[in-house]
């Protein structure tokens, strides 16, 4: 019994060094932050494209005031939110950020939709280029969000599971992080589409 017992003990003791999940939690914490930065980055990229887009549409459809102003306002609202890593710990701030971006998405959707009515605008090289860039950015946003969702799911699992939840709670003081909702994901996954 003695030696076998000892072997078992030695083996299990080794287990203790990994089982607490300290390193994994730290790694996932960084991963979620990095994934979040990528999301913010891509949203910022989209915001940067908008002034040009609005200016181009204005050249052909200046009287579509309401739609144009809607985009400008939604953009101002979205970029007005200060994005910090702290946001990940605050579901309310996260929700606010998500709502503002969703508002910009739908405002942009309306803008692209009215372009349909202006053949000259649709044929404008500048507009088509902006259109391609906007589509590209929307797609990157989708990818970045998907990555964030995956990372956070992984992270949240670690934070909730036993026994790593003990490490998360008492040693690292990590909480669950907010994630994008599925309904919201669907809305964003469809980039505004334009047929030429």
Q: Which residues bind another protein (CB under 8 A)?
A: 2-3, 5-7, 9-20, 24, 27, 38, 128-129, 132-133, 135-137, 139-144, 149-150, 153, 156-157, 160-163, 189, 191, 195
Supply the minimum distance, in Å, between the C-beta of residue 80 and another protein.
26
Between 75 and 151, name the residue whose CB sits nearer to another protein.
151
Supply the minimum distance, in Å, between the C-beta of residue 10 and another protein.
3
Supply the minimum distance, in Å, between the C-beta of residue 29 and another protein.
13
3-state helix, strand, coil in the chain (%, to 5): 80, 0, 20
Between 17 and 92, name the residue whose CB sits nearer to another protein.
17
Is the distance from CB of 111 to CB of 71 less than 8 angstroms? yes
Supply the minimum distance, in Å, between the C-beta of residue 73 and another protein.
26
Nearest-angstrom CA–CA distance, 164 and 168? 6
Is the distance from CB of 71 to CB of 108 less than 8 angstroms? yes
Between 77 and 128, name the residue whose CB sits nearer to another protein.
128
Between 70 and 191, name the residue whose CB sits nearer to another protein.
191
Q: Nearest to residue 162, comparing CAs of 27, 57, 56, 19?
A: 19
Nearest-angstrom CA–CA distance, 97 and 171? 30
């Amino acid at each position: 019994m003695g030696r076998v017992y000892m072997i078992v003990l030695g083996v299990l003791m080794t287990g203790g060094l990994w089982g607490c999940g300290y390193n994994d939690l730290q790694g996932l914490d960084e991963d979620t932050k990095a994934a979040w930065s990528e999301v913010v980055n891509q949203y910022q990229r989209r915001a940067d494209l908008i002034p040009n887009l609005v200016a181009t549409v204005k050249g052909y459809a200046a009287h579509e005031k309401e739609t144009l102003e809607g985009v400008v306002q939604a953009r101002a609202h979205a970029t007005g939110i200060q994005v910090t890593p702290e946001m990940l710990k605050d579901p309310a701030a996260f929700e606010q950020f998500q709502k503002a971006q969703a508002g910009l998405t739908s405002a942009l959707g309306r803008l692209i939709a009215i372009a349909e009515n202006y053949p000259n605008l649709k044929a404008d090289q500048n507009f088509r280029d902006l259109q391609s860039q906007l589509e590209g950015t929307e797609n990157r946003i989708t990818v970045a969000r998907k990555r964030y969702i995956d990372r956070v799911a992984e992270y949240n699992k670690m934070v909730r599971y036993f026994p790593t939840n003990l490490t998360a709670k008492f040693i690292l003081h990590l909480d669950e992080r907010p994630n994008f909702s599925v309904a919201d994901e669907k809305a964003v996954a469809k980039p505004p589409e334009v047929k030429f």
